Structure 1
Amino acid sequence: MYRGYSGDDKPYPQRHSPLPRQLSDITPATLTRLLGYRYPGIAVESMEVTGIIESHTTKLWLRLTFNGVGRDAGIPAHVCVKANFTGEHLNVDICELEARFYHYLSPSLGDQVATCYYADWDNDGQGLIIFEDLEQRGGRFSQTTDHHGIEGTVQALEDLAKLHATLWNSPALTQHPWLPLSMQTPIDNDQIRIMQYCIDLNLANPNYRKVIPATFLENPDRLQSAYDGLIAWEQAQDSPYCLLLGDCHPGNAYIKPDGHRIWIDWQLARKGRPWRDLTYLMISMLTIDERRQSERDLLRHYRECLLACGVTAVADEQQIFEHYRRWVIYGLQVWLGNLDSWQVGVHLNERFFTAAVDLGTWQALL
């Protein structure tokens, strides 16, 4: 089991039936019932499916019409429903966690996250959220295959610093026992073991073997040892916590028309220190040459952005670099456990394996 919190804190105690478990359960009547817990008297009068992505967590885009209660509540016609409709992997409570995030914490983040109109969970791994259809904003979803360049990475780090600063050292982070502490929860600490079957597939893939150093291919078990070293390093720290996206790669952002980001996919939300998000995002976004050219300047810029937001007790530049060079191993194991059928990841493996050599990551952690 990889559930982190089992408290009984349902946001709408008047709901006694389980949340929908199948796509066919999503009907105007079901949506009327669910939204009615938050907006009494609301009625969904019609529903049209405009898009769907089916995976472990399904995203269902809908066009709805409402009665006057719904219109007065400001719920847009175009929404997205996100939940686990497969019934698989409910022992990994990422849908439940994301629903809690949107219910409890997203209001404090303003326009840094999508507007959520309903978030609920069943305390068994299932969670369901209804939020705005971001495509209606006229921007675009960022992709892991995009070329962002140094300038694009600067903008992303400015947005990331704002996100981290919003709840920097905030009491809100300790008021929610459901919010896991980074690298002190089974899903984090056992990621390699959970994803080992995918890692093995990639290590046998000729396309991956071309970009992975021979020294690693000869001894892949060193990944777990290095990752354990990162866990020990992080658990020994005593600097302030902030809110982490947790899975902070380029594809988990929506870029608004003004160039700023809305952070999406909060299934690995954490309280923790910012180096996890910072390193994972930065190395994913930059080509190898861009990283080598700019990483020190970018780390400095991120730190300056944090300070400009008014936070205190920020690590100095050398301390940040020491965190950064170690946290490379986190992104490395994530992308080595990613299948190309989910997201194209060969180029990201090359970036992280190269960074681990350039920055002495293996030596620092083993």
Structure 2
Amino acid sequence: MSHGPYARPAPLPGHWEEVTASWLSSLLEQQYPGTAVEHLEVVELRNTHTSKIRVAVGYNDTGLSAGLPERLCIKGNFTGRHNPFEICRMEARFYHDLAEGHALPAPVSYCSDWDEGAGNQGVVVLEDLVEAGGEFGSTYQRIGTEGVARALTDLAALHGHFWNSPRLAAADWLPRSMDTPGDCDQPRIIWWLVEENLSRDVYIERLPGWMVADPRRFLRAYDLLNHWAREQRGPETIVHGDSYLGNTYLRPDGHRIWLDWQMVRRGSGLRDVSYFLVGALTIEERRAAERDLLAHYRDALRATGARDVPALGTMWEHYRHWAMYGLMSWMGTRDHWGQDNHSAIHRFSVATDDLGTLGLLEALA
């Protein structure tokens, strides 16, 4: 059986100890013929549900002539454990089919590959952003309305690049937003975490009263969001799918890029806009600026050349629906995962009330 876009005879490695100079040579050689990695040193290994391996490498003359950097970040599942979801393969396909060779607000990719079949492995060789001199985003940061406006300009550049794009339409491997088990079934998959958090005072005091009183109403509302999203017609674009501040990196030039493309979809860019905007602003900041910020995003999107952009009133009504997605996503987190989930859940809880999200969705039933 052959694997991936390069028809490899053997599957990709599944453990970090198999990431060797010889293996990396065979991967990079597909994209840069004649390149050989002469030595490889692991600088940092981060294993969670997937893996990030930062490496220092040395090349032969061909690799040096190709301009390959001496520091790289290799992403995949090198935990030695099977992952039942396609997140690594999805990210690898995004970089290979849609991102390579394009100036997108995403890390620079040098090579990507994936296995076909049940393995779900995918590997991406990226620039090492630790060495790039910028700043990784975190939900503990306060970037204010000006910082969010600048980020929305970069997000509009991403969405504008793929707005009604034939390349996006041709990517038949790319799921439609809110029409795949990773989206539709997400709260049920993580329901054990939701129930755990629903039992904690730190969550109860931040959640909407209706959700504490009847958690299953939350599930029904999320199902209605999925149904509503699938029924929408109009221009589609790339959807990052997990576009919160902690999945971003601020380059030294002031432009923000998005990391972790494991939930990439096609669909409404307002899923990304809502998830980023509501999560990145304090409640007071959002209340004061969200309409203006949405108008700013729309103007920036039109400035990319995107056509048939919905009217601002239509975008606002759609934006009001999407707060339920953020509420769902943050309900499945734990304190020790490194993000400020208490503030995030509070911001999305209040947003669903401020925007009348529950009423909008339940009116669809």
Root-mean-square deviation (CA), in Å?
1.4
C-alpha distance 52-153 of structure 1, shift in aligned 2 (>3 A): same
Asked if 1:212 corresponds to 2:198, the answer is no
Match of 2:259 in 1: 264
SS of the aligned residue for 1:112 comes to coil
Match of 1:4 in 2: none
SS of the aligned residue for 2:182 comes to helix
Match of 1:172 in 2: 167
Match of 1:64 in 2: 57
Deviations 1:40-75 (A, max 9, x none): 322211112222211011101011011111111111
1:196, distance to aligned residue in structure 2 (A): 0.8
Match of 1:361 among 333, 350, 357: 357
What pairs up with 1:279-294 in 2 under 5 angstroms? 279-294=274-289
1:275, distance to aligned residue in structure 2 (A): 1.0
1:108, distance to aligned residue in structure 2 (A): 5.4
1:148, distance to aligned residue in structure 2 (A): 1.2
Asked if 1:234 corresponds to 2:229, the answer is yes
What pairs up with 1:300-315 in 2 under 5 angstroms? 300-315=295-310
Match of 1:161 in 2: 156
> What is the CA–CA distance in structure 1 between the aligned matches of 2:82 and 2:189, rounded to whole Å?
11
Match of 2:220 in 1: 225
Asked if 1:352 corresponds to 2:345, the answer is no
Deviations 1:213-262 (A, max 9, x none): 33311101111111111112111111100111111111111101121112
Match of 1:42 in 2: 35
Maintained 8 Å contact 1:288/1:354: yes
C-alpha distance 226-108 of structure 1, shift in aligned 2 (>3 A): farther
> What is the CA–CA distance in structure 1 between the aligned matches of 2:333 and 2:138, rounded to whole Å?
15
> What is the CA–CA distance in structure 1 between the aligned matches of 2:50 and 2:31, rounded to whole Å?
23
Identity %: 43
Maintained 8 Å contact 1:140/1:256: yes
Match of 1:192 in 2: 187
Moved more, 133-142 or 290-299: 133-142
> What one-letter code is carried by the residue in structure 2 that aligns with 1:100?
R
> What one-letter code is carried by the residue in structure 1 that aligns with 2:314?
Q
Where do 4+ consecutive residues of structure 1 move more than 6 Å?
Answer: none
Maintained 8 Å contact 1:211/1:350: yes
Moved more, 103-112 or 342-351: 103-112
Maintained 8 Å contact 2:3/2:115: no
Match of 2:23 in 1: 30
Moved more, 33-42 or 133-142: 33-42
> What one-letter code is carried by the residue in structure 1 that aligns with 2:266?
K
> What is the CA–CA distance in structure 2 between the aligned matches of 1:273 and 1:218, rounded to whole Å?
31
1:39, distance to aligned residue in structure 2 (A): 2.4
SS of the aligned residue for 2:215 comes to coil
SS of the aligned residue for 2:103 comes to helix
> What one-letter code is carried by the residue in structure 1 that aligns with 2:188?
R
C-alpha distance 107-29 of structure 1, shift in aligned 2 (>3 A): closer
1:87, distance to aligned residue in structure 2 (A): 4.2
SS of the aligned residue for 1:262 comes to strand
> What is the CA–CA distance in structure 1 between the aligned matches of 2:248 and 2:210, rounded to whole Å?
34
Moved more, 301-310 or 284-293: 301-310
1:194, distance to aligned residue in structure 2 (A): 1.1
Maintained 8 Å contact 1:336/1:349: yes
> What one-letter code is carried by the residue in structure 1 that aligns with 2:34?
G
> What is the CA–CA distance in structure 2 between the aligned matches of 1:41 and 1:56, rounded to whole Å?
34
Deviations 1:153-195 (A, max 9, x none): 1101111111100010011111111111101111111111111
Match of 1:327 in 2: 322
> What is the CA–CA distance in structure 2 between the aligned matches of 1:40 and 1:274, rounded to whole Å?
37
Asked if 1:10 corresponds to 2:1, the answer is no
Match of 1:53 among 41, 46, 51: 46
Maintained 8 Å contact 2:111/2:125: yes
Deviations 1:301-357 (A, max 9, x none): 111111111111111111111111110000110001122222330110000000001
Match of 2:91 in 1: 98
> What is the CA–CA distance in structure 2 between the aligned matches of 1:217 and 1:297, rounded to whole Å?
32
> What one-letter code is carried by the residue in structure 2 that aligns with 1:86?
T
Name the TM-score, length of structure 1 as normaliser. Answer: 0.95
Match of 1:146 in 2: 141
C-alpha distance 255-192 of structure 1, shift in aligned 2 (>3 A): same
> What one-letter code is carried by the residue in structure 1 that aligns with 2:222?
Y
Deviations 1:2-45 (A, max 9, x none): xxxxxx872111x1111010011111122122222322322211
Match of 1:5 in 2: none
Maintained 8 Å contact 1:101/1:269: yes
> What is the CA–CA distance in structure 1 between the aligned matches of 2:164 and 2:66, rounded to whole Å?
33
Maintained 8 Å contact 1:46/1:65: yes
Structure 2: stretches of 5+ with no match in the other structure = none
Maintained 8 Å contact 1:79/1:133: yes
> What one-letter code is carried by the residue in structure 1 that aligns with 2:113?
D
Name the TM-score, length of structure 2 as normaliser. Answer: 0.95
Match of 1:183 among 144, 154, 178: 178
